[in-house]
């Protein structure tokens, strides 16, 4: 949820980095950093899901729908990541192992956050971002209407875990499924140097991005709710006008 979503223009470009940092651990900052270093579009999950067109969001639904059909799932993942140079955030983090298979030359870069502090942040998002009526509220908005559906699919992945245990389980899983020669861990607080060394790229002549994931989520949520409210007002206005016209005519 880092503002305007990156949109690939060259379908022949492929993932060079698979971001293995979990949601709300600095995924926006990492996406912006990789976009600068690799000079190409980065698929930041939250930004893509809430900023792209209806057809693209449905491609992620196709990935989840193929959870029990590996060939179909790999094909769907290849399609949804086509043209990007890197990926961060969920839903990408749910398919690290598949992405490693699709892009054998990509490096997997992870970063950690204190589990207790992370859970406090996640609790607030869960509490405010997924009310039961959200799916019906967003149903008239192309693209956004699929967000609650995808969030539901995401939640199924962690249904047996809760609290800070989600993050600890995730880190353990990543270290188990990613080959040691492809796995790198960095600290976002260290800035450009570790990333550029891993990717053999020059250090950019600008400050390292310091985006606030929580702030980005809040700003995006306000924008989505405001736009949707205006859409509902417009729709209700049309329905009212049609009703008055029919009443007048008949």
Q: Encode pLDDT of 118-165 as tens digits.
A: 777 666 666 555 666 666 666 655 665 556 666 666 555 555 445 557
Rounded Cα distance, 181 and 183, in Å: 6
Average pLDDT over every residue of 198-218: 82
Rounded Cα distance, 247 and 240, in Å: 10
Rounded Cα distance, 50 and 46, in Å: 6
What are the angstrom distances between the C-alpha of 238 and each of 26, 33, 197, 225, 233? 43, 45, 58, 20, 9
Residue 45 carries which DSSP code?
H
Per the prediction, the chain carries an average pLDDT of 81
Give Cα 8 distance to the centre of its chain.
16
Q: Could you tell me the pTM of the whole model?
A: 0.76
* Domains identified in the chain and CATH numbers: 17-249 (3.40.50.300)
SS3 content of the chain, % helix, strand, coil (to 5): 60, 5, 35
What are residue 111's phi and psi, to 5 degrees? -150, 150
pLDDT of 238 strictly over 70 = no
Cis peptide before 91 (omega within 30 of 0): yes
């Amino acid at each position: 949820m880092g503002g305007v979503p990156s949109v690939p223009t060259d379908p022949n470009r492929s993932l060079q980095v698979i971001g293995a940092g979990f949601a709300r651990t600095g995924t926006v900052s990492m996406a912006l950093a990789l976009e600068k270093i690799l000079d190409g579009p980065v698929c930041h999950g939250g930004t893509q899901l809430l900023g792209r067109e209806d057809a693209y969001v449905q491609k992620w639904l196709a990935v989840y729908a193929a959870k029990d059909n590996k060939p179909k799932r790999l094909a769907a993942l290849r399609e949804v990541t086509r043209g990007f140079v890197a990926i961060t955030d969920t839903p990408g983090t749910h398919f690290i192992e598949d992405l490693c298979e699709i892009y054998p030359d990509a490096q997997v870069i992870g970063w950690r956050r204190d589990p207790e502090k992370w859970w406090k942040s996640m609790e607030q998002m869960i509490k405010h971002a997924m009310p039961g009526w959200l799916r019906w509220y967003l149903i008239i908005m192309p693209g956004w209407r699929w967000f609650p559906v995808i969030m539901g699919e995401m939640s199924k992945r962690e249904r047996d875990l809760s609290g800070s245990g989600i993050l600890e389980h995730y880190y353990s899983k990543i270290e188990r499924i990613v080959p040691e020669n492809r796995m790198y861990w960095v600290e976002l607080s260290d800035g450009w140097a570790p990333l550029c060394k891993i990717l053999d790229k020059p250090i950019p002549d600008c400050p390292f991005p310091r985006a606030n994931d929580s702030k980005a989520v809040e700003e995006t949520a306000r924008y989505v709710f405001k736009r949707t409210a205006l859409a509902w007002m417009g729709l209700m206005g049309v329905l009212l006008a049609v009703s008055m016209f029919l009443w007048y005519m008949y």
